[in-house]
């Protein structure tokens, strides 16, 4: 196998045989319809990108309490399930595979987005820095309400029900969002978790909710159709931990018992640094030896870097975000080493079809 063919070689992921190792990363685009329901525009967007080995959907809230941004889709109402069915059917009609990313934002919300204007919930009453995105513009984050111990089972039930709803919508699997400073990550890291009960303190206790959620979702789907995303080096959304390498080494080692379809790790940003520097940065290089299963890496890779990290064995698949936004036929372009459309950051979030479904394919550009 040559480096140039690595991204394009088939791979087994859980129960599925994928035609290539190019994953469409979960990408929040803030274009859901009324009621946070996927709509026709979203159907077209995902269908355009069905040549990915795997699509991971944009982050999708598991409950009204899990909402943190305007116009992001949910998977907790019958209308949302029906909307997602149309997306899944369109992707399947083009031969693609798609997993739904299950999301609860925790403290990264605002009362105006919560049921009855309630406070967002979190492991501890610690406000993030910065501003919340709301339907009336940016608002300062509020101090969240710490979840009571008796409420934890209801959080797990929200994930379980969302997993059942994703199954009803026809998805091929689900990815639990444990990254980027959202609820499960907030429980993991001691900068946001200062609890003194069985969900706080030791690394084992702080990882307890994540493990219980993963177990609940596996109960719905089976382990070979469940993935998990983590961001060991992430500081987004005011995240911090006293010893992230020890924490995530513990978590990733403990995950081996689940035999997941994959573990999806967010890189700090892949570079050509030395192996020692990459290990210190807590990317896939740091954890490859600890994890026995399939690893997806995400972090600003280009074609050659993606081929390289697969060829050397540090990752099994590579997730692409921004490049998939502007290149709906990204696998074909990689196969031909064709020029890539540049992306327009100003159209990433919100809006209409511009910057969403109007990027040209190679076929259109050469017609």
Q: For residue 277, count other CB atoms closer than 10 A to its CB.
A: 12
Helices 40-48 and 78-93 pack at an angle, to 10 degrees, of 30
CA pseudo-torsion sign 194, 133, 217, 57: negative
**Catalytic pick among 46, 69, 159, 182:** 182
Pairwise CA distance, residues 129 & 188, whole Å: 18
Cross-strand pairs, 98: 55
Closest C-alpha among 77, 74, 72 to residue 61: 74
The CA angle 82-163-15, to the nearest 5 degrees, is 105
- Asked if 90 and 45 touch (Cβ cutoff 8 Å), the reply is no
| Whether 262 is catalytic | no
Pairwise CA distance, residues 288 & 281, whole Å: 13
The two three-digit tokens of residue 93, written as one number: 């009609």
- Asked if 120 and 145 touch (Cβ cutoff 8 Å), the reply is yes
Alpha-carbon radius of gyration of the chain:
19
Q: Where are the beta strands (DSSP E) in the chain?
A: 11-13, 16-18, 22-24, 54-61, 98-103, 121-122, 131-134, 137-140, 145-146, 173-177, 226-230, 262-266, 295-298, 317-320
Pairwise CA distance, residues 266 & 282, whole Å: 9
- Asked if 97 and 14 touch (Cβ cutoff 8 Å), the reply is no
Give catalytic residue positions. 182
């Amino acid at each position: 196998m040559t480096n140039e063919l690595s991204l394009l070689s088939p791979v087994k992921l859980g129960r599925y045989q994928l035609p290539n190792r190019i994953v469409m990363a979960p990408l929040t685009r803030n274009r859901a319809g009324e009621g946070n329901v996927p709509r026709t525009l979203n159907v077209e967007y995902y269908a355009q990108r069905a040549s990915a080995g795997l699509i991971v959907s944009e982050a999708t809230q598991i409950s009204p309490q899990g909402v943190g941004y305007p116009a992001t889709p949910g998977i907790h109402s019958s209308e949302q399930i029906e909307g997602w069915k149309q997306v899944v059917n369109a992707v399947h009609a083009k031969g693609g595979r798609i997993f739904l990313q299950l999301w609860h934002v925790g403290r990264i919300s605002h009362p105006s987005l919560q049921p009855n204007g309630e406070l967002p919930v979190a492991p501890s009453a610690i406000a993030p820095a910065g501003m919340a995105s709301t339907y009336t513009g940016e608002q300062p984050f509020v101090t969240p309400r710490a979840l009571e111990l008796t409420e934890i089972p209801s959080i797990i039930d929200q994930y379980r029900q969302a997993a059942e709803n994703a199954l009803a919508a026809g998805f091929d699997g689900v990815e639990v969002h444990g990254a980027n400073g959202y609820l499960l990550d907030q429980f993991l890291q001691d900068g946001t978790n200062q609890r003194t009960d069985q969900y706080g303190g030791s690394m084992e206790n702080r990882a307890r909710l994540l493990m219980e959620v993963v177990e609940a979702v596996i109960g719905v789907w089976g382990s070979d159709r469940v993935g998990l995303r983590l961001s060991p080096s992430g500081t987004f959304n005011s995240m911090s931990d006293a010893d992230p390498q020890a924490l995530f080494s513990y978590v990733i080692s403990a995950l081996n018992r689940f035999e997941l379809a994959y573990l999806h790790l967010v890189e700090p940003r892949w570079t050509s640094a030395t192996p020692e520097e990459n290990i210190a940065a807590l990317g896939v290089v740091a954890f490859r030896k600890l994890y026995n299963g399939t690893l997806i890496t995400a972090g600003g890779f280009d074609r050659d870097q993606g081929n390289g990290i697969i060829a050397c064995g540090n990752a099994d698949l590579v997730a692409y975000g921004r490049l998939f936004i502007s290149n709906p036929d990204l696998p074909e372009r990689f196969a031909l080493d064709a020029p890539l459309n540049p992306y327009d950051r100003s159209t990433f979030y919100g809006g209409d079809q511009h910057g969403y479904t109007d990027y040209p394919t190679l076929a259109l550009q050469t017609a």
